[in-house]
Chains A and B, each alone.
Chain A
Amino acid sequence: MSMVRSWTLGRVVSLVVLLAATAFSVFPFVWMLVGATLNPNEVLRGALRPGAEFASNWVKATRMYNLPLFFWNSLKIAVVTVLLGLLVNGFAAYGFEKYPSKARDRVFNVLLLTLIIPQIALVIPMFRMFAFMRLLDSHMAIILPAIMSVFIIFFMRQNFKMFPSEIIEAARADGASELTIFVRIVTPSMQATYVSSAIYIFINQWNSYLWPLITILSDAKKTMPIAISSMMSAYTIEYGALMVIVCISVLPVLILFLALQRQFVAGLLGSVK
C-alpha cells in the first residue's frame, strides 16, 4: 500500500479529532504551569507566555499561605488512610471471600446496599456525631470515616476470587496457621491488587473536599483542597500564588499516574471486567 492511499479521509478526520481532544485536555495543564509564573493580572487576562513572577509567587504561596503545611497535612492524612485502609479492607475482603458463611454473606450484602447512599446524606449525622465526640477540626475526623471502604472491600474481594483455594488448603495441610497463610502467602501474591487499591484510596483522600470542608475550621489543619477553596473565597485573591498551590496539589497524583499507569487505571476503574 502506498503512503498516499493510507491517508484516507477517515484517517485525516480521526487525526484531527484526536488532536483537538488532546489540545482541549492538555491546555489547562500547560496554562496552569504558565500561570504559576505570572502576576495576578496576567493570570486573570490569561497570558500564554511564561512570566518572571514564579519566585515571588512561590514566596507568597509558602509564606502567606503556608503551602508546605497544607501539603504535609494532605500527605499525612492520605498516607495514614491508605495504610489503615489496606490493612482493614484487605482482611475483610479475604474473610468474606475465603471463609464463606451465610451470616457473613448477609453482612456483605448490607455493606453493598449502602454503596448507593450519596455522601451528602451521611455528612449531616456524621457532623453531629463528631461534634459530640469532640473530634471536629482534627485530622482524625478526616481519616477515621475513610478507612473502611465498601467499594475497596468489593474490589479486593473480586481479586481474591482469583487466588486458588488449593494453595490455601496445601498450606493448611503443612500446618500453617490461617493468619500466616494470609500474611505470608496470599498478601505477597496480591501485590497488584494492593497497589491499585492504595492508589484509589490515596487519590480519594488527597482530593476529598466536602467532608474536610465541613469539619476543618482552623488554618493550621487545612488540607490542599480546603486551602485552595478558602483562597478562592478571600476578598483579594493572590492568583499567582494560587496557581503555584494548584500545580503542587496536582503533582502527587500526576506522578502516581505516570509511574504506575496500569495499576492507576485499574485502581480508578475498579473491578470492571
Chain B
Amino acid sequence: MKQKASYQRYLNRFGWFCVLPSVALFGVFMLYPILSSLYYVTRRWKGMSNTFIGLGNFIRMGQDKVFLSALGNNFLFMVVQIPLMVFLALVLAVILNQGIRRFKGAFRLAIFLPAVTSLVVVSVLFRVLLQENGMLNNVLLKAHLIAEPIGWLNDAAWAKVTIILAMTWRWTGYNMVFFLVGLQSIDPQIYEAAEVDGASKARQFFTITIPLLVPVILFSVVTSTSGTMQLFDEPNILTWQGGPANATMTAALYIYRQAFFVNADFGYATAMSYVVVLISGIFAFAQMRLLGDRGNK
C-alpha cells in the first residue's frame, strides 16, 4: 500500500516534469505581460516619463474619433466579409462534394492554394495589382466594364472593398476545406433515406446538409471573427497605414501606431488593447455558447 502511494507520487512528479517547461514559458511570455499591462493601463507616457492617470486613458478613448471609427471598420469587415466568405466556401464545398466527378482533387488544391501565402504577401500582391494604372483597372478598362480607373487604394469606399477582396481571396479556400471535411462526415444513408421519402435535392440541402454543418460553420465564424478583430497586416501594407485618411484603419493597427509609431504612448495603447480583448472575449463567449448548445442537441 505504501509502495503504491510512493509510485503515484513518482508519476505525479513526472507529470509536473513534463509540463514544467511550457508552464514556465507561459509564465514569462504570457502571464507576466498580462499582469504588467495592469500597470501600463493606468499611466500616460510623455517622452520617456510617465504619470498615473487612473482611468484617464479610457475617457480619452471615448473621445478618440479615429479609434472609434477603427473599431467600426473592424465590425464592417466582420459583417460583410465573413458571411460573403462563408457563403462562397459553402457553395464551393458542396459543388466539390457532389456536383462534379472528375478533377475534384485538382480543383480543391487550386482553390486552397491562397492559404499558403502570408498576409504580407497577399497585401503586396493586391497592392500592386490594384494600382490606379495597374493590372485590374487596365483589364476592366479594356473590357469596357468601367469608363475610368477605380481608386482601389485611394478612394475611401473602394479601399474597404479592396481589403474585403484580399481577405476573401486568402481565406475562402481555407474555410472550404473545413466544410468539405464536414460534408464528408455526413452519413450517405441519411440522403438515401430522404431520397426514398421523395425529398428533392434542394430540400435535402436545406433540411439535412445545412443543419448538420452548423457546428463547422460556427467554428469557422468564431475563428474568422477573432482573426478580423486582429486585422493588421492588410491595412498596414495593402492600403498603407490604414489609408486613405484612416478609411481602412483597424483597432490593432491604430494601437500599434499609437504605441510604436506616432507618440509611443504605451498606456493609451494598452487601454485600447483592453477594449479589443473585451470585445473578442464577448464574441468568442457568445459564439461558443451557440456552438455548445448546438453540440448538445
Contacts and interface: CB of A to CB of B under 8 A. Distances in A.
Interface of A: 10-11, 14-15, 17-18, 21-22, 24-26, 28-29, 31-32, 35, 43-46, 88-89, 91-92, 94-96, 98-99, 101, 104, 107, 111, 114, 116-129, 144-145, 147-148, 150, 153, 178-179, 182, 206-207, 209-210, 214, 225, 228-229, 232, 239, 242-243, 246, 249-250, 253-254, 256-257, 261, 265, 268-269, 272
A122 B111 contact: no
Given A14-B99, A91-B19, 15 more contacts: A24-B169, A45-B138, A99-B12, A114-B26, A114-B30, A120-B252, A120-B256, A120-B276, A124-B266, A125-B270, A148-B30, A182-B18, A225-B118, A250-B116, A256-B116
B40 to A, nearest CB: 6
B256 A228 contact: no
Nearest to B215: A272
B183 interface: no
Given A17-B91, A144-B29, A249-B121, A118 B280 contact: yes
18 contacts: A14-B100, A18-B107, A22-B111, A25-B114, A44-B134, A46-B129, A91-B21, A114-B34, A117-B277, A121-B274, A124-B37, A128-B266, A129-B32, A148-B26, A179-B14, A246-B124, A246-B125, A269-B177
A178 B21 contact: no
B246 interface: no
B181 A99 contact: no
A11 B100 contact: yes
Contacts of A46: 128-129, 134-136, 138-139
A18 B95 CA distance: 8
A272 B222 CA distance: 13
Given A46-B136, A124-B273, A246-B124, A14 B95 contact: yes
B115 interface: yes
Contacts of A107: 19, 23
B37 A268 contact: no
A186 to B, nearest CB: 11
Contacts of A179: 14
Contacts of A45: 133-135, 138
B242 interface: no
A8 to B, nearest CB: 10
Contacts of B110: 22, 25-26
4 pairs of A and B residues whose beta carbons are closest in the complex: A46-B135, A95-B18, A99-B15, A14-B99
A148 B25 CA distance: 6
Interface string B223-238: 0001001101100110
A107 B112 CA distance: 37
A91 B127 contact: no
B113 A29 contact: yes
Nearest to B233: A209
Interface string B1-26: 00000000011101111110111011
Contact of A18 (B26, B92, B118, B128): B92
A71 to B, nearest CB: 14
Interface in B150-198: 169, 172-174, 177-178, 181
A181 B237 CA distance: 49
A172 to B, nearest CB: 9
A35 B19 CA distance: 48
Contacts of A178: 10-11, 14
Nearest to B99: A14
